[in-house]
Structure 1
Amino acid sequence: MVPRLDLSPTALLESPLDRNRDAGSMQRQLHDRLKRAILDGSLAPGSRLPGSRALAEALGISRNTVAATYEHLAAEGYVQPDRQGTRVTALSSPAPAKRTARPPGTPATAQRLAKIRPLASRAETDAALRPGVPALSHFPFAAWRGALDRAIRGAGPAALGYGDPLGEPRLRAAIAGHLSVARGVRCEPGQVVIAEGAQEAISLCVRLLSNPGDTGWVEDPGYRGVKAAMHAGDMRIVPVRVDTEGLCASAADWQKHPPRLVYATPSHQYPVGAVLSIARRLDLIAQARKHGAWIIEDDYDSEFRHTGEPIGAMQGLVSDAPVLYVGTFSKTMFPSLRLGFLVLPRQLVPAVQAPLEEMLRGGHRYEQLAMADFIESGQFSRHLGRMRRLYRDRQQALRLALHKHLKVPHEIDGGYCGLHLTVRLPARFDDRKIAAEALRHRIAPSPLSGFAMQPTERDNGLVLGYGNTAAELFEPLVKRLSQLARAAQHGTPPASAH
């Protein structure tokens, strides 16, 4: 146990300072000694500090060191100089902690967010079959480096300052042009807002368009990030089931739980891969207009369609649809880029322009300018074409491996878009147990049940990402998952790897 240092007024004069260089400068040691004495009451409020000459002589240090220390303490408010010297300022000290004292209550929002557990360790981002991770080893570094170099040379030091809070105008224009051609989105550059990924874009929607207590609909099973955003906005979350045609909202749902916000992934539902049918898209827009709701369309993985032409965005189906379109470059480029975007409905722009300028500050300016160059030069489209072919081949290889080597009853959902397949398993196979055991083997599927707020027997299975895993690894990986699944059913330890 470290002995308590005597910081009485006498000890201040008589206790020498440590001359060891590792102990810090004389000024820092004296400052810390005086500050502790003031805070613990050894130097009472209103008492006088020794004169600088007397204290310097007593401690064997320079008078300038003492004077500088007193000036520093005065700047911090611990002491106050006057004509008679330097006296200790009266401070309101916090009451001493009691062992029985209760810590401050955790805010309700933090309590709600704490219930959302990660499906896999963030340290395992390079593990095999992890959903949502693109093929980073195939990224065109040379082309991106060139775009960054041109951005830095072209913008110069000016881009080190704050930019347009809503994003670099050049990138907003490039995104609007790309979305018009590739996704059928109706927008002008002024409707585009740059965000730090899709998650921030969704959070902006919640902050701009909802009040605490408002109702938000989410797909069930569905993306966990939107639930976190709505929890943070103190919204009342209503899960709406998903079937083979996507979000399945009935007339009774609209009557019983009329929403302020509806979150949907119509082009490629995450995680089960359903496509929202045209009839349901049009009905969702009509009902949202009727009930004064806003739709958040997350165009998840839509750029990677493996069969036929990409499914068009819901936002462009009808003019002035009450749809906020959300996208990100995390999958099409790379996750750490942290660039996403939000396309506002034209009628909403005047109302939210000023709030957005207060909420956002602009940043990542060189990266934004480089991304604009990447799109304008055609590099982005060429990169997407290469990755579509790669992911199509990997998806087919994973399907074949599952057919040959997954020796338990299962159904495969999805596969026509994106970077993952969902494998449904009978309820007797514990998907969370399988996923936890798989992580020990550096395999990171996500348990399907973890995406559902009100899980049913159908919400049991594994979400398998194939973006970050080479096709030649699928057969041994699926064999291992098959062993783990059988072990999870029978409660026996998994067999050793061969």
Structure 2
Amino acid sequence: MTDSPDLATATLLEAALVKDRDAGSMQRQLHDRLKRAILDGSLAPGSRLPGSRALAEALSISRNTVTATYEHLAAEGYVQPDRQGTRVTELSSPALLAPTALTALSTRSARAGKPATATPPTALRLARIQSSAPRAEMDAALRPGMPSLSHFPAAAWRRALDRAIRNASPATLGYGDPLGELPLRAAIARHLAIARGVRCEPHQVVIAEGAQEAISLCVRLLSNPGDTGWVEDPGYRGAKAAMHAGDLRIVPLRVDAEGLCVSEHDWHKHPPRLIYTTPSHQYPAGSVLSIARRLALIAQARHHGAWIIEDDYDSEFRHNGEPIGAMQGLVAQSPVLYVGTFSKTMFPSLRLGFVVLPEQLMAAVRVPLEEMLRGGHRHEQLAMADFIESGQFSRHLGRMRRLYRDRQQALRLALGKHLKVPHEIDGGHCGLHLTVRLPQRFDDRRIAAEALRHRIAPSALSGFAMQPTASDNGLVLGYGNTPAELFEPLVKRLSQLARAAERA
């Protein structure tokens, strides 16, 4: 311990405090300077700080400023006042580790034969969540999963928001029902019964921040670390990320023209706890899970005590014939958790999705859900309920179905006319994307990466597969947010990139 404040004074006087709004108040500058000196060791533990009067005179600042700074540091625990003055607290361990110390630690680890890490350790499960595609700008052409933002009725939505705020009481500024606003849950239940054939009551609907959070919620509610989850292969990457985050053992199952392929051998070899599927419009291949496979999957799930997560992400946009009904409504008390989202039918930044839980689950999960969740986005939820009940939602869906049907047809024509490499088109007549399968000699990841340089954002089909096969090579093309008049030049560019990416 040192009683001399000379060194401390010298440290504090290295540079004058400045009267500059950007530099902060005198008190803030002095506080930051003292804190840094304590943390980097310039002011040793036990050293005595200058008296408030002396320091104020030396720095040409108010004594009250010094006194207030010392009191603030004492409240934070950096210094401790006593009868002799103010001393630097004896810290049990360094508050910060300087970069030089980190470098030394890395060097010592290398000498000891241990791997040197440039990043701090994280949960082991995060290593299993890998990015399989470069990030594209939101407005890039042919990006999958994006609805037409320019055709959204923003004025009608603004009026719904205004009504929600105007008619709501001040209480809506507080936390709401953890499961979501009841008017929205009731509106969703009524809409799903008519449009999707879903069997549910409002109390079974849980509002989430998009389909991704809804899937993650299903994983948290119904699985334990080490359980097995089945996913479609190729399939939605977000479902795999949710299962990895839940420490599940993921088993990829192939899809064909009738959707998810499940054999009796699969049930016996690796029986699942959760099964993720997109039965009405498989993502990204576009097939529809046949009624025979749907009923067999439900029956086997019941027999084995498994739960099915049905992701009905874009089936509102069926372009040929009547919509394919939801699997959830096929039989009463089915072991199906129905997941939906407004990201495709409204706009992605709304961040509103939902999950319909089976009635037989509600008694077991109600209390945990109330503890796990916090009600929020209340005005947006009330506005969404108004948007549905007023008929605006149905009218918007009708307009978008016609727009997306025309855009899909235009994209098919452009592909047939201008894609000058062998290809097959998948994707059915639904949703917001088409999948173009290419011979394996055309490197789909290279094509997608090169396309990004031209602000074109197709996804490589192989990036959706955990166990890629020769058929998992191609491009997933989104047409929702790209005007039809751009398809021909865009496809011409993709054709050039495909030929350039052909393997020798």
User: TM-score w.r.t. structure 1 length?
Assistant: 0.93
Give the aligned partner of residue 492 of structure 2. 479
Gapped runs of 5+ residues in structure 1?
1-5, 492-498
Q: Which amino acid aligns with 1:385?
A: G
Cα deviation for residue 51 of structure 1 reads 2.7
Q: Is 1:17 paired with 2:16?
A: yes
Q: Are the structure 2 counterparts of residues 291 and 52 from structure 1 closer, same or farther at C-alpha, using a change threshold of 3 Å?
A: same
Q: Distance in 1 between matches of 2:486 and 2:37?
A: 65
Q: Are the structure 2 counterparts of residues 74 and 489 from structure 1 closer, same or farther at C-alpha, using a change threshold of 3 Å?
A: same
Deviates more, 1:48-57 or 1:221-230: 48-57
Q: Are the structure 2 counterparts of residues 75 and 448 from structure 1 closer, same or farther at C-alpha, using a change threshold of 3 Å?
A: same
Give the aligned partner of residue 166 of structure 1. 179
Q: What SS does structure 1 have at the residue aligned with 2:168?
A: helix
Contact 1:17 1:26 in 2 (8 A): no
* Number of aligned residue pairs: 483
RMSD: 1.9
User: Which of 298, 301, 312 does residue 299 from structure 1 map onto?
Assistant: 312
Q: Are the structure 2 counterparts of residues 45 and 384 from structure 1 closer, same or farther at C-alpha, using a change threshold of 3 Å?
A: same
Q: Are the structure 2 counterparts of residues 37 and 473 from structure 1 closer, same or farther at C-alpha, using a change threshold of 3 Å?
A: closer
Q: What SS does structure 2 have at the residue aligned with 1:422?
A: strand
Q: What SS does structure 2 have at the residue aligned with 1:489?
A: coil
Give the aligned partner of residue 87 of structure 1. 87
Cα deviation for residue 365 of structure 1 reads 1.0
Contact 2:11 2:42 in 1 (8 A): no
Contact 1:261 1:295 in 2 (8 A): yes
Contact 1:268 1:275 in 2 (8 A): yes
User: Which of 228, 237, 245 does residue 241 from structure 2 map onto?
Assistant: 228
Q: Is 1:110 paired with 2:109?
A: no
Q: Are the structure 2 counterparts of residues 245 and 28 from structure 1 closer, same or farther at C-alpha, using a change threshold of 3 Å?
A: same
Q: Are the structure 2 counterparts of residues 346 and 42 from structure 1 closer, same or farther at C-alpha, using a change threshold of 3 Å?
A: same
Q: Is 1:254 paired with 2:267?
A: yes
Q: Are the structure 2 counterparts of residues 14 and 377 from structure 1 closer, same or farther at C-alpha, using a change threshold of 3 Å?
A: closer
User: Which of 136, 142, 145 does residue 155 from structure 2 map onto?
Assistant: 142
Q: Is 1:48 paired with 2:48?
A: yes
Q: Is 1:26 paired with 2:26?
A: yes
Give the aligned partner of residue 73 of structure 1. 73
Q: What SS does structure 1 have at the residue aligned with 2:421?
A: coil
Q: Is 1:323 paired with 2:336?
A: yes
Q: Distance in 1 between matches of 2:209 and 2:299?
A: 31
Cα deviation for residue 80 of structure 1 reads 2.0
Offset from partner CA, 1:348-402 (integer Å, 9 cap, x none): 1111111111221111111111100000001100110111111111111111122
Give the aligned partner of residue 3 of structure 1. none
Q: Which amino acid aligns with 1:369?
A: L
Offset from partner CA, 1:416-439 (integer Å, 9 cap, x none): 110111111111111111112222
Gapped runs of 5+ residues in structure 2?
110-115
Q: Are the structure 2 counterparts of residues 13 and 392 from structure 1 closer, same or farther at C-alpha, using a change threshold of 3 Å?
A: closer
Q: Is 1:215 paired with 2:228?
A: yes
Contact 1:8 1:37 in 2 (8 A): no
Q: Is 1:425 paired with 2:441?
A: no
User: Which of 129, 132, 135 does residue 121 from structure 1 map onto?
Assistant: 135
Cα deviation for residue 133 of structure 1 reads 0.7
Contact 1:421 1:463 in 2 (8 A): yes
Q: Distance in 2 between matches of 1:47 and 1:469?
A: 67
Q: Is 1:177 paired with 2:171?
A: no
Q: What SS does structure 2 have at the residue aligned with 1:121?
A: coil
Percent identical: 82
Deviates more, 1:372-381 or 1:6-15: 6-15
Q: Distance in 1 between matches of 2:121 and 2:386?
A: 49
Q: Distance in 1 between matches of 2:14 and 2:474?
A: 69
Give the aligned partner of residue 494 of structure 1. none
Q: Distance in 2 between matches of 1:166 and 1:251?
A: 37
Q: Are the structure 2 counterparts of residues 219 and 43 from structure 1 closer, same or farther at C-alpha, using a change threshold of 3 Å?
A: same
Q: Which amino acid aligns with 2:258?
A: E
Q: Distance in 2 between matches of 1:414 and 1:13?
A: 69
Q: Distance in 2 between matches of 1:18 and 1:404?
A: 71
Cα deviation for residue 19 of structure 1 reads 4.0
Give the aligned partner of residue 39 of structure 2. 39
5 Å-filtered alignment, 1:260-339, equals 260-339=273-352
Q: Distance in 2 between matches of 1:128 and 1:159?
A: 39
Give the aligned partner of residue 188 of structure 1. 201
Q: Distance in 1 between matches of 2:477 and 2:220?
A: 32
Deviates more, 1:178-187 or 1:416-425: 416-425
Q: Distance in 1 between matches of 2:58 and 2:434?
A: 77
Q: Distance in 2 between matches of 1:14 and 1:445?
A: 59
Offset from partner CA, 1:142-199 (integer Å, 9 cap, x none): 1111111100101143222111111111100000000011000000000000000000
Cα deviation for residue 442 of structure 1 reads 1.7
Q: Are the structure 2 counterparts of residues 350 and 41 from structure 1 closer, same or farther at C-alpha, using a change threshold of 3 Å?
A: same
Cα deviation for residue 57 of structure 1 reads 3.3
Q: Distance in 2 between matches of 1:90 and 1:34?
A: 15
Contact 2:281 2:288 in 1 (8 A): yes
Q: Distance in 1 between matches of 2:200 and 2:124?
A: 38
Moved over 6 A (4+): none
5 Å-filtered alignment, 1:430-445, equals 430-445=443-458
Q: Are the structure 2 counterparts of residues 472 and 10 from structure 1 closer, same or farther at C-alpha, using a change threshold of 3 Å?
A: closer
Q: Which amino acid aligns with 2:53?
A: R
Q: Which amino acid aligns with 1:18?
A: L
Cα deviation for residue 84 of structure 1 reads 4.2
Q: Is 1:450 paired with 2:463?
A: yes
Q: Distance in 2 between matches of 1:375 and 1:357?
A: 26
User: Which of 400, 425, 448 does residue 413 from structure 2 map onto?
Assistant: 400
Q: Are the structure 2 counterparts of residues 404 and 12 from structure 1 closer, same or farther at C-alpha, using a change threshold of 3 Å?
A: closer
Cα deviation for residue 270 of structure 1 reads 0.5
Q: Which amino acid aligns with 2:123?
A: P
Cα deviation for residue 138 of structure 1 reads 0.8
Q: Are the structure 2 counterparts of residues 83 and 451 from structure 1 closer, same or farther at C-alpha, using a change threshold of 3 Å?
A: same
Q: Are the structure 2 counterparts of residues 395 and 41 from structure 1 closer, same or farther at C-alpha, using a change threshold of 3 Å?
A: closer
Offset from partner CA, 1:173-227 (integer Å, 9 cap, x none): 0000000110000000000000000000000011111111110000001001001
Q: Which amino acid aligns with 1:107?
A: A
Q: What SS does structure 1 have at the residue aligned with 2:255?
A: strand
Cα deviation for residue 277 of structure 1 reads 0.5
Deviates more, 1:34-43 or 1:470-479: 34-43
Q: Are the structure 2 counterparts of residues 16 and 248 from structure 1 closer, same or farther at C-alpha, using a change threshold of 3 Å?
A: closer
Q: Distance in 1 between matches of 2:245 and 2:66?
A: 50
Q: Distance in 2 between matches of 1:16 and 1:398?
A: 66
